[in-house]
Amino acid sequence: MYQCSKDRVKDKIETFSRFGSTGNRGITRFSLSKEAIAARNEFTKRMVAIGAEIVTDDMANMYATIAGFGAGLPRIALGSHADSVRNGGNYDGILGVITAMEVLETVVSEKIPHRHPLTAVIWTNEEGSLYPPAMMSSGVICGKFDKAAVLASKGVSAEAGSSEMTFGEALAASGFAGDEKNRLNPQDYCAMLELHIEQGPVLEAEKKQIGVVDGVVGMFNYRIKTRGQADHAGTTPMSFRKDALLAAASAIKWIHAELDTFPQDIVYTTGEIKLHPNVHTVIPDDVDFSLDVRHWDPAVLAQALETIKSIPKEFDNCAVTYKEAWSRARCEFNKELVGLVEKNTRALGYSYMIMHSGPGHDAQYVSGMLPTTMIFVPSKDGRSHCEEEFTTLDEAWAGVNVALNTALDIDKK
């Protein structure tokens, strides 16, 4: 079994944590910002130093490739994203990029023979922090999003603040927009591996070093509305009111009571609520809230959907309506690659469990194009998208070793 350099992994984690540092352990590194460009320049510097050839595609995805000894063979890609949410951590995304770099650096420094070219990838704007949607650029090149629509995306996220520019303008100004012909594609590439932090508490709770990820759960996202009547907060007796916010609270309680009877691993969230008129002296007349439901089993999701559709048409004298915002079928990763990750994890002597990913990742879109899989490493206390996000060096190093040996196994196929 091959092992990468723990010192080099440590150095990269420390170095990249400086690009966009908040000064409080975390980073804010929106895609294509000057902080993100500094991280990209560091990636370039390190990859050029090992003799990699670097190109970008029209969505500014970066590809650093070292040649293999076989002629005309497709590339094996490894990678993740280098952007973050506001006040995010030093591991989400970037650890997968560091893994890809470290795999290439190890192969070069140890002179490990490989037939296929190996490519380290940075996916642009995975978080969609400033320019939605998330997983934007893997989505465009895998045919999930319309390119013209995402180029027009304007900074709208309340969490991130707003940008003066559209994504297309930021892309043009970045200097990283390259040629469409450089996109990852099924002729020039034969596989993609993405290492990522778990972003949840399961691996730590189960005392496992590696998550062998077999896919990404399916989900649906609904908007639920309650319609009441706006009236004066001082003059309208309680019994006369049609308070849409009270009705929304009742609807959310109802959804929880119903979905709590489902298998324990179903997860559902109301994370966004719009309230009209949102004035402290006015009884709300309109509320519109989100409902995100996720599970691995399509039958369980279908049953949850039927439950949502059976929501009472009225709560607290207010009308209740719903409609689908969007949904996504579960994604199953390539079984052969999942098997190779498991085999190598076992051979390296690491504890592991097979698991599904709850969040979406670039690998999910790529899996529709190429054999793809993911490797998870633990997140301390399950924390992510925050400055406290942490994975120990030993855990990160173990994950890189699994990626290294898996890439070299794919190379033998």
Which positions touch Zn ion (CB under 5 A)?
A: 92-93
C-beta pairs of 147-156 under 8 Å, 24+ apart in sequence: 147/58, 147/59, 155/130, 155/131, 156/132
State whether residue 251 is helix, strand or coil. Answer: helix
DSSP 233: T
Find the shortest distance in angstroms from Cβ 331 to Zn ion. 15
Query: Closer to Zn ion at the Cβ: 197 or 244?
Result: 197
Evaluate whether 197 touches 389 at the Cβ level (below 8 Å). yes
Find the shortest distance in angstroms from Cβ 301 to Zn ion. 23
Q: Which residue is nearest to Zn ion (CB)?
A: 93
Evaluate whether 104 touches 118 at the Cβ level (below 8 Å). yes
Query: Closer to Zn ion at the Cβ: 172 or 202?
Result: 202
Query: Closer to Zn ion at the Cβ: 92 or 105?
Result: 92
Query: Closer to Zn ion at the Cβ: 92 or 395?
Result: 92
Find the shortest distance in angstroms from Cβ 386 to Zn ion. 13
Query: Closer to Zn ion at the Cβ: 89 or 93?
Result: 93
Q: How far is CA 359 from CA 135, 217, 369, 384, in A?
A: 11, 8, 19, 11
DSSP per residue, 97-130: HHHHHHHHHHHHHTT---SS-EEEEEETTSS-SS
Find the shortest distance in angstroms from Cβ 129 to Zn ion. 11
Distance in angstroms (rounded) separating the CA atoms of residues 396 and 388: 16
Evaluate whether 307 touches 222 at the Cβ level (below 8 Å). no
Parallel/antiparallel/unpaired status of strands 118-123 and 75-81: parallel
Identify the burial level of 214 via C-beta atoms within 10 angstroms of its C-beta, where 0-12 means exposed, 13-18 middle and 19 or more buried.
Answer: buried
Find the shortest distance in angstroms from Cβ 238 to Zn ion. 47
Find the shortest distance in angstroms from Cβ 297 to Zn ion. 24
Find the shortest distance in angstroms from Cβ 97 to Zn ion. 10
Query: Closer to Zn ion at the Cβ: 93 or 228?
Result: 93
Query: Closer to Zn ion at the Cβ: 33 or 250?
Result: 33
